[in-house]
Copies of this chain bind each other. A is one copy, B any other.
Amino acid sequence: MNNFLFQNPTKLIFGKGQIARLAKEIPTDKKILLTFGGGSVKQNGVYDQVKDALKNHNCMEFWGIEPNPTVETLRKAIALGKENQIDFLVAVGGGSVSDGTKLISVAIWNENDPWDIVTNPKKIGKSVPMATVLTLPATGSEMNKNSVISNTATAEKIPFAAVYPTFSILDPETTFSLPKFQVAVGIADTLLHVMEQYLTTTGQSPLMDRWAEGILQTLVEITPKIQNNQHDYEQMSNFMLCATMALNGFISMGVSSDWATHRIAHEITALHNTTHGQSLALIFSSLMRVMAHQKGAKIVQYGERVWNITTGSTDEKIEKTIAKTDEFFRSLGLATKLSELNIGQDSIDKIVARFKANGTKLGENENITFDVVKQILELAK
């Protein structure tokens, strides 16, 4: 096991009716900026619950943080925050609203342009406390310090370590009305968060392996039930808990991690605006195939413990496991090949050129260089 530091200060407030706790968690002397995406929270009653909880607080609203939140939009929210001396932020929505609000949090009391902060997080100083009311389980942003911000002008999408939410409220009932596609990409995203921290080498930590597999097994078990009835409180609770636990540091203590699938998928999203979870599903199987020489033993362990694949040669087990994973993505209604979404050779070439220019080395052994990225993308065509 590698040496590690672990700390996660976020308070998790989980369950039915918990949005009402906002009133208790935020001092009444705070000047709050509520941040939102599109209007779905007005349809599903979440907006009303938030406003009702904070009826004795001083609140402003900022609307329009988009999926793959852009620095262009967020500059407007930051200006509003500076102008009104906002000292508490509440992100109401999914991971994009949370990620965007993290940039607002670190930019309000900062003189630098927000894109400078994203590209050089050393410029982060004091941050405005932020909380989230989560409505879409997927990114884990509600219980980590990560944020991913896009820049429309440069067609870039960059992850950076921003700030932990002070608290996050997770009421599974808020997920009942999500579009099926959003649930599907949320499940794919959760699966890949686990995979990036798990699918490296065997034997680093038997406990972390089992906790990662525990999330994967749960996802596999609950997915058909969720597809059958998205109003099943127990199953949506399980999904919501899995999504948060997949990326809050709990399964990565003392083990190496990969993140190549995410990095390549970010490029696809930056070029084509494909939903993040969908982009991941396009890449992951090809990455497993190309990196099987290195990840083979862990793929076999994953196949055995999650998919019950116990017979055949090692190569056969690896192939069956990859096929099962692809089948799972397809059961979610997601594409697993670039061609299905009309992503062509020109995009592959652009992405490879960008990794070449940056000298990027991805993966747990930093051996996924631009030419390996090319192999992965060619196989994903």
Given A9-B9, A254-B241, are A218 and B210 also a contact pair (CB < 8 Å)?
A: yes
Q: Which residue of B lies closest to A171 (CB)?
A: B3
Q: Which residue of B lies closest to A14 (CB)?
A: B4
Which of A205, A207, A237 is most buried by chain B, counting CB atoms within 10 A of its CB? A207
Cβ contact within 8 Å between A14 and B6? yes
- Any B CB within 8 A of the CB of A80: no
CA distance A194 to B5 in the complex (A): 23
Cβ contact within 8 Å between B207 and A242? yes
- Any B CB within 8 A of the CB of A13: yes
Given A5-B13, A18-B3, A214-B214, are A250 and B253 also a contact pair (CB < 8 Å)?
A: no
Interface residues of A in 227-277 (CB under 8 A from B): 234, 237-238, 241-242, 245, 250, 253-254
Min CB distance, A342 to chain B, in Å?
A: 37
Interface residues of A in 1-16 (CB under 8 A from B): 1-16
Given A1-B237, A215-B207, A218-B206, are A11 and B7 also a contact pair (CB < 8 Å)?
A: yes
Copies of this chain, complex-wide, total: 2
Cβ contact within 8 Å between B206 and A238? yes
Chain B residues with CB below 8 A from A205, complex form = 237-238, 241
Cβ contact within 8 Å between A7 and B9? yes
Which of A10, A206, A218 is most buried by chain B, counting CB atoms within 10 A of its CB? A206
CA distance A217 to B215 in the complex (A): 16
Interface residues of A in 182-236 (CB under 8 A from B): 205-207, 210-211, 213-215, 217-218, 221-222, 234
Cβ contact within 8 Å between A6 and B12? yes
Cβ contact within 8 Å between A238 and B14? no
CA distance A112 to B14 in the complex (A): 36
Chain B residues with CB below 8 A from A17, complex form = 3
Chain B residues with CB below 8 A from A215, complex form = 207, 210
Cβ contact within 8 Å between B5 and A12? yes
Given A14-B253, A215-B207, A253-B14, are A241 and B7 also a contact pair (CB < 8 Å)?
A: no
Query: Interface residues, chain A, CB within 8 Å of chain B?
Result: 1-18, 205-207, 210-211, 213-215, 217-218, 221-222, 234, 237-238, 241-242, 245, 250, 253-254
Q: Which 7 A-B pairs have the closest CB atoms?
A: A3-B15, A210-B214, A7-B11, A6-B12, A1-B237, A207-B218, A206-B218
